C-alpha cells in the first residue's frame, strides 16, 4: 500500500518516529512543522533511510498554509495516500490560571490543526475514493486530567469531529478511512517544550512508553485501518474506568495532580505555545530510564468488538439457560 504519507508535527517526538517508520516501510514522507532548522534535520534523517521526503515549514493551525502544503505535496511527491494529524501544543496549569488567548491557541494547534489537515487531505482523497487519515489523540481525550484542561478539551473535540465526519463518509460511501489513536504518557521532548504555570516542571507520569510503540500503532492504522487504537495499558485502563465508574475515575484523576509535576521548584516556562522553540530532531525525551521496553502493547477497536461480542454471547446463553430453568416444570426444578 506504500505511497505518499503526510505527518504534521513531524520534526520530533511521535511525529518523527512515525515518519521514520513509514520511510522504513517504503513510504514517501512529507513533514509539516513550524521550526525550520529542526524540520530540515528531521528530513535529513529520513533521507538517510533511503526514502523520498519533503519538508514544509508551516503552522498546522493555519488552514490556508495546510491547503497550500497539500497542493505542493501532490505536485512534488504524488497522490497523498495517508495523512497523520499529530501537531499539538499545551499549557500545564490550573484551569482558572490559564488565559483566554492560551485556551484559544491550544484549541487552534491541537484541535483545529486536525480539522484543517483532515479537510486538506479529503479534498485530494475523496475524488479518488481512497486514503487513510489518522488522528493522533490521547488517553486524556477519554479521561481528562487536572492541570491540562485546554489540551484535554481539544483532544476530546478531535474525537467528536472525527465521529461526525466518519458518519458522513459512510453515508456518502467514500472509501477513506478515519482512525483515532489514543496514546499514553510517552517519552518525547514535548515535556520540555510545554508552557507551564505551576511553579514546577512537567513530567511524564508512570507508566511511560516509547515513541516507537506509538509509531507502530499509527503506521498500523494507516496500513490496516481500525476505527480506534489504544496504546499502553494505562490508556486502556483510563477508558475502562471512565466507561464503568466515572465517579471513581474523577477521584483517581484528582490524585494525578502531583504525578505530573517535578519535585523541585522551577520558574514558569513560555514554551512553544505561540512560537516554536529550538531543539534537536529527537524522538526521545528525558524519561528513558522509566520507559517501558515494548513495541506491541496496543489494542484495536476490532479486538474490543470481538471481546464484547463474546461477552454478549455468554450473557445471552446464560440468560437463555436461566429462562429455560424458570420455565421448566416444577418437578424438574425440584430434581424429580
CA distance 117 to 111: 10
On whether the 4-296 domain is CATH 3.40.50.1100, my answer is: no
The whole-number average pLDDT for the span 184-200 is: 96
pLDDT digits (tens, 9 = 90+) for 69-108: 999 999 999 999 999 999 999 999 999 999 999 999 999 9
CA distance 313 to 6: 41
132 half-sphere exposure, CB direction, 13 A CA radius: 24
pTM of the model: 0.89
Specify the pLDDT at position 301: 72
Tell me which of 49-53, 226-230, 284-288, 310-314 is least confident: 310-314
User: Domains of the chain: which residue ranges?
Assistant: 4-296, 302-336
173 phi-psi bin (left φ>0, alpha ψ -120 to 50, beta other):
left
For the cut 90, the answer to whether the pLDDT of residue 332 exceeds it is: no
Specify the pLDDT at position 88: 98
% of the chain beyond a pLDDT of 70: 89
Enzyme catalytic residues: 151
Amino acid at each position: 500500500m506504500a505511497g505518499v504519507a503526510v505527518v504534521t508535527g513531524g520534526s520530533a517526538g511521535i511525529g518523527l518516529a512515525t515518519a521514520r517508520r513509514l520511510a522504513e516501510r517504503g513510504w514517501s514522507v512529507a513533514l509539516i512543522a513550524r521550526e525550520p532548522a529542526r524540520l530540515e534535520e528531521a528530513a535529513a534523517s529520513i533521507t538517510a533511510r533511503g526514502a523520498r521526503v519533503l519538508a514544509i515549514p508551516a503552522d498546522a493551525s493555519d488552514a490556508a498554509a495546510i491547503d497550500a502544503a497539500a497542493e505542493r505535496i501532490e505536485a512534488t511527491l504524488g497522490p497523498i495516500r495517508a495523512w497523520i494529524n499529530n501537531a499539538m501544543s499545551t499549557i500545564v496549569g490550573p484551569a482558572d490560571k490559564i488565559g483566554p488567548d492560551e485556551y484559544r491557541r491550544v484549541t487552534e494547534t491541537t484541535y483545529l490543526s486536525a480539522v484543517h489537515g483532515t479537510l486538506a487531505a479529503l479534498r485530494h482523497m475523496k475524488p479518488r475514493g481512497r486514503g487513510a487519515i489518522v488522528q493522533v489523540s490521547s488517553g486524556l481525550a477519554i479521561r481528562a486530567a487536572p492541570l491540562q484542561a485546554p489540551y484535554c478539551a481539544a483532544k476530546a473535540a478531535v474525537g467528536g469531529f472525527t465521529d461526525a465526519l466518519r458518519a458522513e463518509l459512510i453515508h456518502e460511501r467514500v472509501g477513506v478511512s478515519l482512525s483515532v489513536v489514543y496514546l499514553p504518557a510517552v517519552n518525547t521532548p514535548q515535556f520540555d517544550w510545554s508552557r507551564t504555570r505551576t511553579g514546577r516542571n512537567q513530567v511524564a507520569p508512570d507508566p511511560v512508553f516509547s515513541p516507537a510503540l506509538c509509531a507502530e500503532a499509527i503506521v498500523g492504522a494507516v496500513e490496516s485501518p481500525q476505527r480506534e487504537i489504544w496504546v499502553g495499558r494505562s490508556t486502556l485502563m483510563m477508558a475502562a474506568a471512565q466507561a464503568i465508574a466515572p465517579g471513581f475515575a474523577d477521584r483517581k484523576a484528582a490524585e494525578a495532580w502531583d504525578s505530573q509535576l517535578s519535585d523541585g521548584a522551577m520558574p514558569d516556562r513560555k514554551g512553544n505555545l505561540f512560537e516554536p522553540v529550538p531543539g534537536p530532531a529527537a524522538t526521545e525525551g528525558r524519561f528513558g530510564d522509566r520507559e517501558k521496553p515494548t513495541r506491541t502493547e496496543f489494542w484495536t477497536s476490532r479486538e474490543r468488538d470481538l471481546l464484547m461480542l463474546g461477552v454478549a454471547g455468554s450473557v445471552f446463553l446464560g440468560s437463555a439457560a436461566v429462562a429455560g430453568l424458570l420455565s421448566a416444570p416444577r418437578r424438574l426444578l425440584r430434581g424429580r
